[in-house]
Amino acid sequence: MARNLSRRRFLGVAAGAAASAGRSAVAREDPGQTEDDAAPWFLRTRRWVQTNLNEQDPATYDPELWADYWQRVRAQGVIVNAGGIVAFYPSRFDWHHRALALGGRDLFGEIVTRARRAGLTVLARMDSTRTYEDVFRAHPDWFARDANGEPFRSGELYTACVNGPWVNECIPAILREIGERYRPDGFTDNSWSGLGQRQVCHCDHCRTAFRRAASMDLPARVDWDFPAYRQWIRWSYARRTAIWDACNRVTHEAGGPGCHWLGMCQGEPSRMCEDFRDPNAIWSRSPIVMLDWQARRTGEGFQANAIAGRTVHSVLGWDKLVPESTALYLGPTRPMFRKAAKPEPEARLWAVCGMAAGIQPWWHHLGASQDDRRQLRTAERLSRWHAENEAYLVDRTPIATVGVAWSETNIDWYGRGESATRAVAPFAGVAESLGLHRVPWRAVHADRVGPEASELDVLVLPNLAAMSDAQCAAVRRFVEAGGGLVATGETSLYDDEGRRRADFALADLLGAHATAEHRGSEVGPTASPWASGEGHSYLRVAPAGLKSPALEGFEETDILPFGGRVEIVRVEPGAEVLLTLVPDSPQSPPENVWMREPRTAIPGLVLHATAGSGRVAYLPADLDRCFGRDRIPDHGRLVASLVRWASRRPVPLEVDGPGLLDCHLYRQPGRLVLHVVNLTNPAAFRPYATELHPVGPLRVRLARPKDLRPIRARRLVAGGEAPCTADGDWLELTLERVLDHEVLAIE
Ligand SMILES: [Zn+2]
């Protein structure tokens, strides 16, 4: 992609030469120099280790043990605690809290020296908006305060205000001290953005700065309807992005132009937004994204990591790196057991899902002393495999003709503090449904629909309610050029500040008009203030749906379970209604279970196609959100079926055979790379996976790119080759057995 500095472009070598490398280094015109030698650290450091030091570690840190570990997992970079919350070096600032056991030791400096000797990239790790009571007592004006003047605390630590001297002066001074003294390659920061959207700081610095910027007082409460709160949201975002830029100016000056300050990012945009970390602004200005997304959450599948990878790369581009801190301690159950080892299969399945979506390993340990030594073995085999095959795992372009759109605008200005149900669940529902049905897809930021359009056959707008006029225009151009569209819920009904429009901005494409009414609930029977009714509702197949290919596979039923929310819309004469609402009715006792209103004219699914334009499927019924929440099979199956119906060409990958799989297809010069991750496991949706369960045989069909005539498919995990045959424009092969994952190099 043009906006990115690709490694190949950086080197100025022919694309084919770079990709023909089987191992980590590529011979260039200068035979003594390799690709890895020449590329900047943020493009070549692909495996990381972090021993997250605690205050007592300086007393007992064993440099031999950790240097041996770096070697065993083939680490190319380390992240070493430096300063901020705790200094692990003799800082010259008396307000910079030194590790309790530091004594006269310079532990940070020792580890940096050791890592340099091992040829590793070094990032200095900071935690820069929290500190100890003694600093709070000495400098009370540095700290964030609630409306009553009470300091915000996190356990025994005090939260510094991002607008006060701690962040404006002290942190830059620390960055400068570390940058000049130790010359790290860059910096990370655990808590750089301070308080989030639910906590308004009322300290004097914020009061003054907000009045100067917005000519109003700070919002008295968290309320998205309150003009001052909305203004404070915008101002707070701008401040965090300004901190990002300011820290980079300091580290570039102090540590050299390649010394980037990288903060830390989460893998889900809504989590970034909650902390005022603007995902679009930050991922588009960062040369590498250091992802703090350490494990799945309870109830989540491993594939969530691949959703995260796709989402970050949708802004960052696919030729940059996204190392991800992977917890090797026991979590996500509560409490996390920070010193106990996670079972290897649990860590491994999370990591291979990430690798399938362009994430690089960053093995994370809490503390330098480990009583549970099993965690020092967890990553070794997988990390070595990664080292041997890294050329196939980076710098590649996804082959995915389905785009699923997201935006921080929708998360904030439509989500309004309830983004989990309004924005995140619909996106996750589409993502999970496509993954389950093995449809390769890519995340697309709503601002980038135009640039990505040529790669896409179908665009999905999962309740993308808040859209700018420009975003709507790009979608319209895409459909007018023949692209398929699947949209749900209130898509395009709000502008980019969350103000309701009179009608869907995309009403002409959807073939439906908004009426300002809805039926049913969003989040189950009672959980939401929007809820109404019991939720025991259905969708009925309308006459037009009986023979439609869009409902293929549902021939033996006249109804589908629903239980969600449906927008009441007025359908245009040219559009077809395939499903209608059966409103909710009692679900017990059995004698009382009968549909009070078995038929209505309320549309649940509308198909619209106009001459010359792409097919459009619009779901007033929120099946995407329902599937994200409940995983009712018919919901996911229908969403995937509509995507296939709307696509002008068949999706370019088919994988047949039993199992829960996550499939990803990429292009590199001269080859295709296919990941098949096997998530078939009794712990697929509940930690902890303790063993792996093989699947196979799997029959794979791939659309052959016109310029590629591959003759063999090498199995990068199992070894050997998978027999590969051509059938017209398709390639066919069989995977006899997949344990946790297989990666095929088809060349
Ligand atoms: Zn403040």
At 17 the pLDDT is 34
169 C-alpha to ligand 1 centroid (Å): 14
Sign of dihedral through CA atoms 374, 377, 378, 379?
positive
At 38 the pLDDT is 83
Residue 319 identity: D
98 C-alpha to ligand 1 centroid (Å): 25
At 522 the pLDDT is 64
Query: What is the DSSP pairing of strand 360-366 with strand 48-52?
Result: parallel
Q: Near ion ligand 1, which residues have CB within 5 Å?
A: 144, 161, 163, 201, 203, 206
Question: pLDDT tens, 188-216?
Answer: 999 999 999 999 999 999 999 999 999 99
621 C-alpha to ligand 1 centroid (Å): 43
143 C-alpha to ligand 1 centroid (Å): 7
**182 has a pLDDT exceeding 70:** yes
Computed over every residue of the chain, the mean pLDDT equals 93
222 C-alpha to ligand 1 centroid (Å): 15
At 545 the pLDDT is 86
At 534 the pLDDT is 64
159 C-alpha to ligand 1 centroid (Å): 10
Residue 81 contacts residue 52 (beta carbons within 8 Å) = yes
164 C-alpha to ligand 1 centroid (Å): 6
Alpha helix positions (H), 32-94: 35-38, 41-44, 57-60, 63-72
DSSP-based three-state secondary structure for 718: coil
237 C-alpha to ligand 1 centroid (Å): 14
Q: Would you give the end-to-end CA distance of the chain in angstroms?
A: 23
Q: Can you read off the two tokens belonging to residue 430?
A: 């589409």
At 467 the pLDDT is 98
657 C-alpha to ligand 1 centroid (Å): 57
210 C-alpha to ligand 1 centroid (Å): 10
Question: pLDDT tens, 520-578?
Answer: 876 544 444 444 456 899 999 999 888 899 999 999 999 999 999 999 999 999 999 99
**139 has a pLDDT exceeding 60:** yes
194 C-alpha to ligand 1 centroid (Å): 10
313 C-alpha to ligand 1 centroid (Å): 33
Q: What is the mean pLDDT of residues 474-488?
A: 98
**6 has a pLDDT exceeding 70:** no
156 C-alpha to ligand 1 centroid (Å): 19
92 C-alpha to ligand 1 centroid (Å): 26
235 C-alpha to ligand 1 centroid (Å): 12
734 C-alpha to ligand 1 centroid (Å): 60
- Exposure b/e, 25-50, CB count within 10 A at least 16 = b: ebebeeeeebbbebbbbbbbbbbbbb
Measured CA to CA in angstroms, residue 598 lies from 251, 442, 566, 580, 623 at distances of: 66, 39, 16, 10, 20
**299 has a pLDDT exceeding 60:** yes
Q: State pTM to two decimals.
A: 0.94
Question: pLDDT tens, 408-421?
Answer: 999 999 999 999 99
pLDDT band at 287 (very low <50, low <70, confident <90, very high): very high
Question: pLDDT tens, 584-604?
Answer: 998 888 999 999 999 999 999
pLDDT band at 37 (very low <50, low <70, confident <90, very high): low
Q: Which residue, 30, 32, 185, is CA-closest to 123?
A: 185
Q: What is the mean pLDDT of residues 717-726?
A: 94
**123 has a pLDDT exceeding 60:** yes
Rounded Cα gap, residues 412 and 406, in angstroms? 12
Q: Can you read off the two tokens belonging to residue 80?
A: 């070493």
Ramachandran region, residue 719 (left: φ > 0; alpha: ψ -120 to 50; beta: rest): left
Q: Which helix (H) or strand (E) holds 210?
A: helix 204-214
Q: What is the mean pLDDT of residues 286-305?
A: 95
Rounded Cα gap, residues 140 and 136, in angstroms? 5
208 C-alpha to ligand 1 centroid (Å): 9
Q: Can you read off the two tokens belonging to residue 365?
A: 């340990």
Q: What is the mean pLDDT of residues 464-493?
A: 98
124 C-alpha to ligand 1 centroid (Å): 26
Question: pLDDT tens, 625-675?
Answer: 999 989 999 999 999 999 999 998 999 999 999 999 999 999 999 999 999
Q: What is the mean pLDDT of residues 339-348?
A: 97
**9 has a pLDDT exceeding 60:** no
Q: What is the mean pLDDT of residues 507-513?
A: 98
At 36 the pLDDT is 59
Measured CA to CA in angstroms, residue 410 lies from 86, 476, 697 at distances of: 37, 18, 42
513 C-alpha to ligand 1 centroid (Å): 45
**503 has a pLDDT exceeding 70:** yes
209 C-alpha to ligand 1 centroid (Å): 9
At 31 the pLDDT is 38
Q: Can you read off the two tokens belonging to residue 172?
A: 């830059």
At 24 the pLDDT is 36
The beta strand positions in 521-574, using DSSP E, are 538-541, 559-561, 565-571
150 C-alpha to ligand 1 centroid (Å): 12
Q: Which residue, 581, 579, 576, 621, is CA-closest to 600?
A: 581
**2 has a pLDDT exceeding 60:** no
Question: pLDDT tens, 639-649?
Answer: 999 999 999 89
DSSP-based three-state secondary structure for 438: coil
595 C-alpha to ligand 1 centroid (Å): 56
pLDDT band at 23 (very low <50, low <70, confident <90, very high): very low
At 575 the pLDDT is 97
Residue 511 contacts residue 618 (beta carbons within 8 Å) = yes
253 C-alpha to ligand 1 centroid (Å): 27
- Phi, psi angles (nearest 5°) of residue 48: -125, 155
Q: Tally Cβ neighbours within 10 Å of residue 743.
A: 23
At 533 the pLDDT is 53
pLDDT band at 510 (very low <50, low <70, confident <90, very high): very high
pLDDT band at 19 (very low <50, low <70, confident <90, very high): very low
